[in-house]
């Protein structure tokens, strides 16, 4: 039995931060936020919304939609942001406890912004390779809006970061389910240190000085250097993983019916869609959510899954700092 997606779900915090408020906080004109950043607004976690609780809320929705009981879940795997409830901590055991998924064991992935496609591919491999596992619940949360320093222009490309939770149930037993056909992933470690919350780890332990210097927010070490090295490879790698995932499945990319991809600035989103020759209306642009670490593609699928019919092809495309590009292909 081939593994497939039985259901997806998402959960968003109540507060929504419009482009006008992002403009006020950052000093960037509102029309630039809307037109160039491609952001009408984003959800912002409240004081009690953590990656664990938002993951659990989304997971509850996905399990219910799959028609399963929590006792049916064999693995709970976390794929969201690494900005978690605590440092040196795993979110998946906490989600198991919050959901009462007492028969599940915990798996932690957290591949930052490429997490969605990577998690789907990994869970499918786990299910297809282990006959004792029937149902995997993928959960992810993001609270990275709280890691933004809007006064730091080095990190301005991350001002689209928002908050929320997303989940997917992958199964070999639930019907109907939507088969994971193929995937392709590329990594380039030369970018490993370009983006981080630099203080608080072993290289720069937390201190009064790191707090005073605002080193506990997301930052870019050298934006000019990163851009010079990343621009020549990022676009081609997005295109390569998308094409190669389709080629591995013997699929023509022009037959893709839904194209959920990570939130980027509008011009880059349009460039990817144009280069892949996918009709723009099939691409999912989450301009009312922004970028939510590894959640974007799952949230995009959740928002527009009602448009899909049996047999339709879904290509999920994302990339994460570090730097990794990932595409996963699904037959609905």
pLDDT in tens, 186-231: 999 999 999 999 999 999 999 999 999 999 999 999 999 999 999 9
pLDDT confidence bin for 331, thresholds 50/70/90:
very high
292/225 Cα distance (integer angstroms): 25
Question: DSSP 3-state assignment of 242?
Answer: helix
3-state helix, strand, coil in the chain (%, to 5): 40, 25, 35
Q: How confident is the model at residue 110 (pLDDT cuts 50, 70, 90)?
A: confident
* 17-35 tens-digit pLDDT: 999 999 999 999 999 999 9
| Strand, helix or coil for residue 130 | coil
User: DSSP secondary structure string, 279-323?
Assistant: -GGGEE--TTT-B-GGGHHHHHHHHHGGG--TT-EEEEEEEETTT
Tokens 């028969």 identify what position? 103
Q: Is the pLDDT of residue 1 over 80?
A: no
Query: Can you give the pLDDT at residue 231?
Result: 95
pTM (global) more than 0.95: yes
Q: What is the pLDDT of residue 169?
A: 98
- Token code pair at residue 159: 């001002």
Q: Which two tokens stand for residue 149?
A: 């320093």
Residue 72 has pLDDT above 90, yes or no: yes
Contact 328, 180 (CB under 8 A): yes
Query: At residue 118, does pLDDT exceed 80?
Result: yes
Longest dimension (CA), the chain: 57
Mean pLDDT of 75-92: 97
CA–CA–CA angle 137, 138, 143 (5° rounding): 135
Q: Which residues pair with 7 in a beta bridge?
A: 169
Set out the domains of the chain in order of their start, with CATH numbers.
4-177 (3.40.47.10), 180-331 (3.40.47.10)
Average pLDDT over residues 83-109: 97
Q: What are φ and ψ of residue 326, in 5° steps?
A: -145, 140
pLDDT for res 246: 98
Q: Are 20 and 30 in contact, with CB atoms under 8 Å apart?
A: yes
Strand 75-78 to 135-143 pairing: parallel
Query: How far is it, in rounded angstroms, from Cα 215 to Cα 203?
Result: 12
Token representation of residue 319:
């990339």
Average confidence (pLDDT) over 261-278: 97
134-183 residue pLDDT tens: 999 999 999 999 999 999 999 999 999 999 999 999 999 999 999 999 99
Confidence of residue 304 (pLDDT cuts 50, 70, 90): very high
Check residue 33 and give left, alpha or beta (phi > 0: left; psi -120 to 50: alpha): alpha
pLDDT tens-digit readout, 43-67: 999 999 999 999 999 999 999 999 9
Average pLDDT for 237-257: 98
| Alpha carbons 249 and 2: distance in angstroms, whole number | 14
Round to whole Å and give the CA distance between 144 and 43. Answer: 11
Share of the chain above pLDDT 90, in %: 99
Taking only the tens place, the pLDDT of each residue in 181-194 is 999 999 999 999 99
Cα–Cα–Cα angle for 157, 197, 207, rounded to 5 degrees: 140
249: left (phi over 0), alpha (psi -120 to 50) or beta: alpha
Contact 92, 167 (CB under 8 A): no
For residue 278, how far is the Cα from the chain centroid? 21
Whether omega before 176 lies within 30 degrees of 0, making that bond cis, reads: yes
Q: Do 61 and 38 meet the contact criterion of CB atoms below 8 Å apart?
A: no
Q: What is residue 76's predicted lDDT score, i.e. its pLDDT?
A: 98
Tokens (6 digits) for 158 = 């991350």
Distance of CA 324 to the CA centre of its chain: 12
C-alpha distances out from residue 248 to 121, 207, 240, 241, 294, Å? 13, 50, 12, 10, 23
């Amino acid at each position: 039995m081939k593994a497939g997606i039985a259901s997806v779900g998402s959960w968003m915090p109540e507060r929504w931060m419009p482009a006008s408020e992002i403009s006020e906080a950052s000093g960037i004109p509102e029309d630039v936020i809307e037109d160039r950043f491609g952001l009408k607004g984003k959800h912002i976690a409240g004081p009690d919304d953590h990656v664990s609780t938002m993951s659990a809320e989304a997971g509850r929705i996905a399990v219910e939609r799959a028609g399963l009981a929590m006792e049916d879940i064999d693995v709970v795997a976390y794929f969201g942001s690494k900005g978690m409830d605590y440092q040196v901590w795993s979110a998946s055991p906490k989600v198991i406890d919050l959901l009462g998924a007492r028969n599940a064991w915990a798996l932690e992935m957290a591949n930052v912004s490429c997490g969605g496609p990577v998690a789907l591919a990994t869970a499918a491999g786990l299910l297809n390779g282990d006959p004792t596992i029937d149902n995997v619940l993928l959960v992810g949360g993001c609270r990275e809006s709280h890691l933004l320093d809007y006064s730091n222009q080095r990190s301005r490309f991350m001002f689209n970061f928002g908050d929320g939770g997303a989940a997917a149930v992958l199964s070999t037993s639930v019907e109907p389910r939507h088969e994971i056909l193929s995937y392709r992933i590329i990594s380039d470690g030369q970018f490993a240190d370009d983006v981080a919350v630099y203080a608080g780890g072993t290289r720069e332990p937390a201190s009064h000085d790191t707090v005073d210097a605002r080193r506990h927010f997301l930052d870019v070490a050298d934006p000019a250097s990163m851009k010079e090295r990343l621009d020549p490879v990022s676009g081609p790698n997005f295109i390569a993983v998308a094409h190669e995932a389709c080629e591995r499945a013997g699929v023509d990319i022009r037959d893709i019916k839904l194209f959920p991809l990570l939130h980027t600035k509008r011009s880059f989103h349009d460039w990817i869609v144009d280069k892949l020759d996918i009709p723009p209306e099939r691409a999912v642009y989450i301009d009312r959510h922004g970028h939510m670490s590894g959640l974007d593609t799952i949230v995009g699928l959740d928002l527009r899954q009602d448009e899909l019919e049996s047999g339709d092809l879904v290509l999920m495309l994302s990339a994460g700092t570090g730097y990794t590009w990932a595409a996963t292909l699904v037959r609905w």
